[in-house]
Structure 1
Amino acid sequence: MLTNSDIAELTEFRRALHKRPELSGEEVETAAAIVEALKPLNPDRVLKGLGGHGVAAVFDSGVEGPTVLFRAELDALPIQEISDNPWKSEIDGKGHLCGHDGHMTMLLALGRQIAREPVAKGRVVLMFQPAEEDGSGAKAVVADPAYQEIAADWAFAIHIEPGRPFGYVSTKTGLVNCASQGLKINLTGKTAHAADPEDGVSPAQAVAALVPALDGLGQGGRLDDDFRLVTITHAQIGAPTFGVAPGEAVIYATLRTAQDSAMDQIDQDARALAMAEAEKHGLDVSFEVFDAFAASINDPEATEIAVGAMTAIDVESGDYGLPMRASEDFGVFGWGAKAAMLCLGPGDDYAALHNPDYDFPDDLIPVGGAIFERITRDLLGRAER
């Protein structure tokens, strides 16, 4: 159990993290702060540089048993924070506006409890993962050879999720977060004088055709296995000038599906449309992929363990608001482990994630720590003194 002193110290640490946000792939200072905070807990191993700047603390009982991993994220967002809090971001254009500072702190809360009362069997891994916001971090961690030494049998994560009562947890078996990826379509023709557009090769007509065609590949609707959604987020033809007929264009499309396998198909469909229009209008076409997220699919057994743990400590849970269209790269840990994502409510009227006035509510630190601790005990027990 966390003491009042623990909660005060953890709150101070969370606010210190909040002041110094770092973007995906840049989490040097944040990782160093985590390593320093872990030292008093004396984990059996601390792995650094996992998948970039990832940090993993391992508490090993020395007795055969499963490896249970709990994940938090290191990175922040490229958004200017608007706040009067004394712990607001000190870095222009960057802010912990998705709760990752709180998620890290909840893992440290668990670490304090495990350090005082070790588990009876197996291992606990506190995974501080880099680069969640661009979808690259979990894949890089799991692909890192060092991860194989601590590969999880069970994996759990908590993400704060506004729109739910304080302390309420949304979770369910099956789909929780959709797969998504950003597809950039580059169309290249030839510029010409605006007085003689026939001398060039303009992508304008191709873009005019592609925007509704891409949109037609996925209209959203019910979040079942057939769910597909394409959102055009940006399109640009040529330069903002009146004297030049355009020779280049770009389209950004976010593709979203309920299953990873369906993402492969919608990606192929989108590329086929673009290639057909490019050929029709005499254009070259190329593609780039950004922010590729796997779907987060909760394992039935892991979900049952989590729900049972929350019931035991009187934390209300249900499936409110699930599944979600938004993406989360935690699902990658579920490729090799029984995994469950838990969505923790900060209060019904709390600021939305990614808003410039968002801040993690510190009163949730002991709630998340208690949930993680009970899951740990239910799976690994408590060592005899």
Structure 2
Amino acid sequence: MNLNNLTTYRKQIHQNPELSGQEKQTAKQLIHAIKKLNPTEIITNINGYSFAVIFDSGNTGKTVMFRAELDALPIQEINTFSHQSKTKGVSHKCGHDGHMTILYGLAQELQKTTIAKGRVILLFQSAEETGEGAKAILNDEKFKSITPDFIFALHNVPGYPFGDVICKTETFTPSVVSLAVTLQGKTAHAAEPENGINPDIALQELIFKIKQLENPNQDDKDFSTIATVFATLGSKDYGISAGNAELHFTIRCWTLKQLHILKQHITNIVKNTCNKYQLNHTLDWFEEFASNKNDESATKHIKKAAKHLNFNYIEKTHPFKWGEDFGLFTQHYKGAMFGLGAGQNTPALHNPDYDFPDNITENGILMFYQILKQINA
């Protein structure tokens, strides 16, 4: 395993980040590099820039899929190292450059050691950060032709020792959705607000009532967090009593079922409050992420692989609270995601000073390869 070359490759990806749905060059360069490894097939443009690399043994066995993400984030990097992002306002602050490199490294191992049974599919996914990528892939007929028996993914996790494997059965990451509420009343002269319909009181009530639905107890199956992320009312025109407002939330629950219940409660609150104050309104639900439902048999393979490789295995008590688009795959196929410790003093994900730690690349490759060997032993 040529880790120096993989590190150089990862840093090249880091220097050239692309936002969700715009990963044209990232996909093109990866495909160009992987073609040299002589895979059985590469399926490109799976409902966008997502693509799948297939290594087929030609012998009957399980189809095992591993996924990595292509997209970066709209964050200005503040690091000053030589491989800093060349694109203003865009950078790899979630470690997707490292995840891609791990799958590229796995492809190199698959070229060197031909698999005896089944198929391996390396899925490079576009638009993970917006929650659009997995849905687009699942709706593409080209993907439906390569149905996996198992699907796996990893995510680097700052705050844990380098290379530790963190996992649990059932919910691994929550269901997440964002909501934008617009309120439309009627402007009036600020001296005569009674001649208009100002949504100010409704805005306050909505924040209070919706936040009251929150259940922050992580031990409860009905756990939920509701973060108010944006609010605005009227404009900075001091002779005008406001006639419009906007309010945004991000909501998280352990299960997709609980999220749907909470969405209905919120919808009813908005409707009733707007009727009370004679306001028109719209609700826009977006950036929805299904919860990762880690299959028990898939999770056992992760634990077994970690033990075989002498990696420290941590059985997580509660799910992580960040959303992951991989969850939609685990709603359809047997699969699991695990965390890979990225260092206890590594900056947090989505921070402007974060950078993927290259010393865990080998751990990720070895974990995936060992899982594959176990399934098609």
Note whether the superposition's TM-score is higher than 0.5.
yes
Q: Which residues in structure 2 correspond to 1:334-345 (within 5 Å)?
A: 334-345=330-341
Output the amino acid matched with 1:277. T
The answer for the alignment partner of 1:161 in structure 2 is 157
Output the amino acid matched with 2:115. V
Deviations 1:284-315, CA, capped at 9 Å, x for gaps? 01111121000011110000011101111111
Tell me, yes or no, if the aligned pair for 1:129 and 1:138 is still in contact at 8 Å: yes
The answer for the alignment partner of 2:187 in structure 1 is 191
Measured after TM superposition, the shift of residue 210 of structure 1 is 0.5
Tell me if 1:279 matches 2:275. Answer: yes
Measured after TM superposition, the shift of residue 321 of structure 1 is 6.6
* Secondary structure at 1:219 match in 2: coil
Deviations 1:137-182, CA, capped at 9 Å, x for gaps? 1111112111111121101111000110111011011111010100
* Secondary structure at 2:344 match in 1: coil
- Contiguous gaps of at least 5 residues in structure 1: none
Match of 2:350 among 354, 359, 367: 354
- Count matched residues: 377
The answer for the alignment partner of 2:248 in structure 1 is 252
The answer for the alignment partner of 2:24 in structure 1 is 28
Q: Which residues in structure 2 correspond to 1:141-160 (within 5 Å)?
A: 141-160=137-156
The answer for the alignment partner of 2:314 in structure 1 is 318
The answer for the alignment partner of 2:118 in structure 1 is 122
* Secondary structure at 2:282 match in 1: strand
Tell me, yes or no, if the aligned pair for 1:51 and 1:130 is still in contact at 8 Å: no
Deviations 1:358-381, CA, capped at 9 Å, x for gaps? 000111111111111111111124
Tell me, yes or no, if the aligned pair for 1:223 and 1:323 is still in contact at 8 Å: no
Measured after TM superposition, the shift of residue 44 of structure 1 is 0.8
Tell me if 1:180 matches 2:172. Answer: no
Tell me if 1:112 matches 2:113. Answer: no
* Secondary structure at 1:41 match in 2: coil
Output the amino acid matched with 2:240. V
Separation in structure 2 between the aligned mates of residue 316 and residue 330 of structure 1, nearest angstrom: 24
- Contiguous gaps of at least 5 residues in structure 2: none
Tell me, yes or no, if the aligned pair for 1:170 and 1:322 is still in contact at 8 Å: no
Output the amino acid matched with 2:197. V
Measured after TM superposition, the shift of residue 322 of structure 1 is 3.8
Q: Which residues in structure 2 correspond to 1:1-385 (within 5 Å)?
A: 2=1, 6-320=2-316, 322-381=318-377
Tell me, yes or no, if the aligned pair for 1:224 and 1:258 is still in contact at 8 Å: no
Separation in structure 2 between the aligned mates of residue 26 and residue 182 of structure 1, nearest angstrom: 22
Q: Structure 2 length as normaliser, TM-score?
A: 0.98
Identity of aligned residues (%): 38
Separation in structure 2 between the aligned mates of residue 189 and residue 336 of structure 1, nearest angstrom: 43
Output the amino acid matched with 1:15. K
* Secondary structure at 2:222 match in 1: coil
Separation in structure 1 between the aligned mates of residue 50 and residue 297 of structure 2, nearest angstrom: 27
Separation in structure 1 between the aligned mates of residue 165 and residue 362 of structure 2, nearest angstrom: 14
Separation in structure 2 between the aligned mates of residue 45 and residue 229 of structure 1, nearest angstrom: 43
Deviations 1:92-132, CA, capped at 9 Å, x for gaps? 10010100000000001111111111211111000000111
Separation in structure 2 between the aligned mates of residue 155 and residue 332 of structure 1, nearest angstrom: 11
Separation in structure 2 between the aligned mates of residue 51 and residue 153 of structure 1, nearest angstrom: 22
Q: Structure 1 length as normaliser, TM-score?
A: 0.96
* Secondary structure at 1:150 match in 2: coil
Tell me, yes or no, if the aligned pair for 2:230 and 2:247 is still in contact at 8 Å: yes
* Secondary structure at 1:22 match in 2: coil
Deviations 1:318-349, CA, capped at 9 Å, x for gaps? 12474111111111111232111110111111
Measured after TM superposition, the shift of residue 227 of structure 1 is 1.0
Separation in structure 1 between the aligned mates of residue 63 and residue 237 of structure 2, nearest angstrom: 60
